[in-house]
Amino acid sequence: MTTAAATTEKIFVTKPYLPPKEEYYSYVDRIYETGHLTNEGPLVKELERKLSDYLGVENFQYVTNGTIALQFALKAFGIEDGEIITTPFSYVATTSSILWERCKPVFVDIEPDNFTLDVSKIESAITEKTKAIMPVHVFGYACDVDGIQKIADKYGLKVIYDAAHAFGSEYKGKSLLSYGDVSTLSFHATKLFHTVEGGACITKDKEVSDRLSLIKRFGNIGEEHYCPGINGKQSEFHAAMGLANFAHIEEIKQRRKTISGYYDELLEGRLGRPKTQSGLEYNYAYYPVLFKTEEELLRVFAALNKQGIYPRRYFYPSINKLSYLDEYKPCPVSENISSRIACLPLYPTLELSMIKRICNIIEKV
Ligand code: T4K
């Protein structure tokens, strides 16, 4: 893997991995040979097979992005109204998917240690209108999956994990994606494994998977029409990028782990970090750091930006504060974390010299 970062190059929070062109082209050649461009072509099928084997999960439905994957999961369970318990600390897509399905997001605050849903606060948010819980394995850290499942079972609720960040994370010896009723992934260009755009729904339940499969292709198989579906199919060109990237997945993961280790060493506990969870095999999807105050964060950002380095405020603002929501429900932990958290640049070609530079600037400020 080449690591080329000229010091004049702008450094963003991420830089999509691009496979060697000839490897991508070899898949594109196959598309040209068959003329099969989309509608569940051979490359899509091959990618679905390879990813489900790699992740050790069944019933893998590749779709156009991680947001529609969440909407499909709600649709697959016939959830068309009602309340969905979710986290305010995520990318806005988690809540948007709920709103687009005409449901109401009910925010439950997060754990200060790993920023996932605080299980002890879920039960008091359940009403007779609650249909599902949609937690997020944020940054690839594991939610309290056992605690959540217990509550879901007690109240008869579906659990849909937004696992957009959780590709390759394992918990208690198996893929984090194997918990809950459905887990969804994002394969957006900014993710550790990407297909330019893309996403997936994963479920243990074959019937749910069959429904998802119908929903994503207009609800019909040939002349038989089963339900109102929509178009969430992915193209062969996206699958080609996925297959070419997939050949390098171990190298990508290893490099991200190494870079995270460099940050750990160089920052030496100067900034807050999520607590390591026992039983979690982390995927190094992001490198989140917590500043003491928002003011400190802003000073560090100004100094880094001056040098052409652009970390991101993932995730700010806390979603419960969005102005277009019907009501404001305070979530003090999420609001506090959101105001002072940032993700530092993390991608396979990031050089050690740049990591040192970033850490030096942080230290000076
Ligand atoms: N659930 C969660 C928890 C999520 O985090 C997301 C998406 C979703 C659901 C929905 O999944 P998708 O529907 O997107 O599949 C980015 C991504 O667009 C979004 O996928 C991701 N989460 C979110 C955390 O980050 P932005 O607005 O921060 O992206 P952008 O364009 O500012 O990119 C960040 C940096 O990456 C840029 O400063 C430069 C670099 N970059 C980006 C792109 C797109 C490149 O170098 N090349 C590129 O092509 O949202």
Q: How far is the CA of 324 from the centre of ligand 1 (A)?
A: 22
> Which pairs from 31-37 meet CB under 8 Å and 24+ separation?
31/236, 31/237, 31/240, 36/236, 37/235, 37/236, 37/237
End-to-end CA distance of the chain: 33
Q: How far is it, in rounded angstroms, from Cα 302 to Cα 309?
A: 9
- Can you tell me which residue has the tokens 């944020």? 138
For helices 332-340 and 294-306, the axis angle rounded to 10 degrees is: 30
Q: What's the CA-to-centroid distance between 33 and ligand 1, angstroms?
A: 33
pLDDT digits (tens, 9 = 90+) for 329-358: 999 999 999 999 999 999 999 999 999 999
Contacts of 187 (CB under 8 A, 6+ apart): 65, 66, 167, 193, 194, 195, 196, 197, 198, 199, 200, 242
Using one digit for the tens of pLDDT, what is the confidence trace for 145-190?
999 999 999 999 999 999 999 999 999 999 999 999 999 999 999 9
How many whole angstroms from 191 Cα to the centroid of ligand 1? 7
Q: Which atom of ligand 1 is nearest to the CA of 13?
A: 35
Q: From the CB of 188, is ligand 1 less than 6 Å away?
A: yes
Per DSSP, what are the bridge partners of residue 179? none
Q: How far apart are CA 340 and CA 338, in angstroms?
A: 6
Q: What is the pLDDT of residues 280-321, one digit of tens each?
A: 999 999 999 999 999 999 999 999 999 999 999 999 999 999
- Tell me, in angstroms, the distance from the centre of ligand 1 to residue 199's CA: 13
Radius of gyration of the chain (CA): 21
| 98 Cβ below 6 A of ligand 1 | no
Report whether residue 164 contacts ligand 1, using a CB cutoff of 6 Å.
yes
Residue with tokens 């506090």: 336
Domains, the chain, in order of start with CATH, read 7-16+248-364 (3.90.1150.10), 21-246 (3.40.640.10)
Instruction: Compute the distance between CA of residue 202 and CA of residue 72 in angstroms, rounded to an integer.
Output: 11
Residue 7: predicted pLDDT: 52
Closest CA to 179 of 135, 210, 113, 125: 135
Alpha-carbon 172 to chain mean position: 20
Task: Kindly indicate the confidence band of residue 276, based on its pLDDT and cuts at 50, 70 and 90.
Answer: confident
Closest CA to 168 of 89, 273, 251, 289: 251
- Of all protein residues, the one whose alpha carbon is nearest to atom 23 of ligand 1 is 91
What span, in angstroms and rounded, lies between the C-alpha atoms of 315 and 332? 14
7: its two tokens: 């010091």
- pLDDT, tens digit, for every residue of 79-127? 999 999 999 999 999 999 999 999 999 999 999 999 999 999 999 999 9
Indicate if the pLDDT at residue 2 is higher than 50.
Answer: no
312 CA closest ligand 1 atom index:
28
Span 238-263, average pLDDT: 98
What are 312's strand-pairing partners?
Answer: 343
Which residues contact residue 264 at a Cβ distance below 8 angstroms, ignoring those fewer than 6 apart?
A: 273
Q: What is the pLDDT of residue 130?
A: 98
Q: How far apart are the C-alpha atoms of 195 and 43, rounded to whole Å?
A: 12
C-alpha span between 302 and 296 (Å, rounded)? 10
What is the per-residue pLDDT for 6? 45
pTM of the model: 0.97
Helix (H, G, I), strand (E, B) or coil at 7: coil
- In angstroms, the CA 218 to CA 200 distance is 17
Q: What is the pLDDT of residue 8?
A: 75
Residue 3 has pLDDT above 80, yes or no: no
User: Which ligand 1 atom sits nearest the alpha carbon of residue 310?
Assistant: 38
Predicted confidence (pLDDT) per residue in 182-197, tens digit:
999 999 999 999 999 9
Q: Per the structure block, which two tokens stand in for 304?
A: 């880094």
Question: Distance from the CA of 13 to the center of ligand 1, in angstroms?
Answer: 10
Residue 351 has phi, psi (to 5 degrees) of: -85, 155
Average pLDDT, the chain: 96
Give the mutation target among 89, 190, 193, 315 for probing the ligand 1 site: most ligand atoms within 8 A of CB.
Answer: 190
